[in-house]
Amino acid sequence: MTPDPNPAEQPEPELPPAADVSLPPDDLAYLGVELREAIATAPSIHEQGIVIDVSADRVLLSGSVAAPAQREAVGQLVQRLVPDRQVINHVVVPSVTPPTEVEEI
Amino acid sequence: MTRLAAVGDLHVGVDGQEHVRGALSGVDEQADALLLAGDLTRCGDPDEARALAEVLEPLALPIIAVLGNHDHHAGSVDELVRTLADAGVRVVEGTALTLQVDGITVGIAGTKGFGGGFAGATITEFGEPLIKEFARCAQAMASRLERALRTLRGADHRVALLHYAPISATLQGENPQLYPLLGSHLLGEAIDKAGADLVLHGHAHFGTEHGHTPTGIKVRNVAQPVLGRAYALFDLRSQVPV
């Protein structure tokens, strides 16, 4: 997994019971589906908005989650499920800066 | 003038309370009311609801919310709604309420809504029982929204608050294969029939902020990942001559 400059100490996410993703490398499309299912159903994550790009030697994650701890949990979960691949975690947490504009209706 | 703040898809988990507290800090100094467009929690767990309630309760403004699909996952909707109600949050589902702000009446009608798709790719009430049930659910929610909006005809402003999208334009950026799971044209049709000044929804994290219904009613996707900011602000201008 790509090192995070400020890794937060988080408990390892609980894996969903059906997260058996031991698929052969040729089944990349199915692996992506399995990972998406695992991210959506993992109790500590429950996120459907992650884009998963799977190749033979890496998994690239993008999209957004609601909190920094959730971002770390997504990366840790995927790395545990595909330990033989590099996991690149580009998932972001949306900015929470106050709005600077007001729309007139 | 009435100023509304709106955001959807906070997805509050027990590990995300401080993040959302920071996001909503000061919103009660910026707006007259806060509207939450569903997916308040990560999976509808009662602990998540309590974490969110602790953030919302101190805010000194009316808070109106609809639930989202995530809020239903744990099967604890009644407890979630009670927890939020105890914190002063009014959850609307197929119902409407009004706010009085400086003599102006703002009506808010809300529903979570449901999927079903848009012109050219819609789920219809045909075939297996599960498909028919899906279609009927979308129809029922749209019908309730239309009725709720019609009860607000005396209000100075009417806002429709949804989680699922009522038009496809604010889904631009999402995988089109997902559209039937992200919204329904029936919601947009209901809004156009009953009338509204503004429509707010969430759910589509990769979607587009701005759109409008076929009759020109403004639709805003206020999912926080789309906004790229803590919340959106809207000024409802008085239509009463002064």
The predicted-structure confidence for B210-234, as pLDDT tens digits, reads as follows: 999 999 999 999 999 999 999 999 9
In this prediction the pTM is: 0.90
List the beta bridge partners of residue B107: B98, B158
Instruction: Output the six-digit token pair for B130.
Output: 């599960």
Each residue of B2-24: pLDDT tens digit?
999 999 999 999 988 999 999 99
Mean pLDDT of chain B: 96
- From chain B, pick out residues whose CB is under 8 angstroms from the CB of A43: 43
Decide if A66 and B12 are in contact by the 8 Å CB cutoff: yes
Residues 35-64 of A with CB under 8 A from B: 43-47, 49, 63-64
Q: Sheet containing B89-91: which strands, arranged edge to edge?
A: A103-104, B232-236, B2-7, B33-37, B63-66, B89-91
> Rg for chain B (alpha carbons), in Å?
17
- State how far residue B234 is from chain A, nearest Cα, in angstroms: 5
Examine the pLDDT at A16 and tell me if it is beyond 70. no
A to B CB pairs, distance under 8 Å: 98
Each residue of A28-73: pLDDT tens digit?
878 999 999 999 999 889 998 899 999 989 999 999 999 999 999 9
Each residue of A86-102: pLDDT tens digit?
999 999 998 889 999 99
- From chain A, pick out residues whose CB is under 8 angstroms from the CB of B237: 104-105
Query: Residues in chain B whose beta carbon is closer than 8 A to a beta carbon of chain A?
Result: 3, 9-13, 15-16, 19-20, 22-23, 26, 30, 42-43, 70, 73, 157, 197-198, 205-206, 218, 220, 224-225, 227-237
